[in-house]
Structure 1
């Protein structure tokens, strides 16, 4: 199955999907999954509460944001693949971050949550047929395919990995 076409997602998804190499979801999982899991696992605990500037997320908050976003996107994939016809709501990443209680949690726990979310996402993605991945749903004010959300999950991680490397020196 070829990668999502630009008519399968809103224009702002391009900044994430363009970061992902590979033609199929299986290829993307194979290429990125272990690398991304290992990257999060190797993030140093002594940097967990570091933010590169005032009003920027800490490393721990960034990892929680990645997990939260992946969960939301995986739910959307599930809904679309199962034929949901109702419009799905958007989400405000800043409200999620403010209400995550992540600063009271250990970084190891946050990392473990990311691994669990990713494991569940991969099982979901591997279970879907080509027909299910091509299904299009409505989210807020745009149409998007389940496949585009799958690629977006991995591209969203790559986007934040670049930020963590460039701004946080991780």
Structure 2
């Protein structure tokens, strides 16, 4: 199966084969770094970026919802091609800046716990099941890896923006 090209950078950041374990370890070891961002820091746009950190956290939740939904569909053998989603269009309709940073972190935490539970419930053979989303082929495993790599990508940016989060 060909790797989903637009998401290759996230897959490169998550080389772990056991994506279920990687999701759990990341939750335990990397998610606490988001707690180091203050409410004040979370409201700032740091050029050249266009989103506040609150918006980044909301984007992480939205994206993980989408990737986990895709993984569920493919794990259950549903091969119906799934459409893409436009993160910028989502952002236009989101109200992330109207929420508190702790509220957004709580949602992200809840979404990740749900993703961990989903991947933990899958039989081993489900991880190699395939489907198409956004016009690209995926496996369930690569969707899990993408969740991990996507968070790693954005956490690195958040840490640069606030100096050590």
Calculate the TM-score normalised by the size of structure 1. Answer: 0.89
Gap runs ≥5 in structure 1: 1-6
Residue 45 of structure 1 corresponds to 39
Partner of 1:137, secondary structure, is strand
Q: In 1, Cα distance between the equivalents of 2:132 and 2:8? A: 18
Q: Does 1:81 align with 2:75?
A: yes
Identify the match of residue 151 of structure 1 among 119, 122, 145.
145
After superposition, residues 52-67 of structure 1 pair within 5 angstroms as 52-53=46-47, 56-67=50-61
Q: How many residues align?
A: 164
Calculate the TM-score normalised by the size of structure 2. Answer: 0.91
Gap runs ≥5 in structure 2: none
8 Å Cα contact 2:34-2:155 kept in structure 1: no
Identify the match of residue 154 of structure 2 among 146, 156, 160.
160
8 Å Cα contact 2:37-2:162 kept in structure 1: no
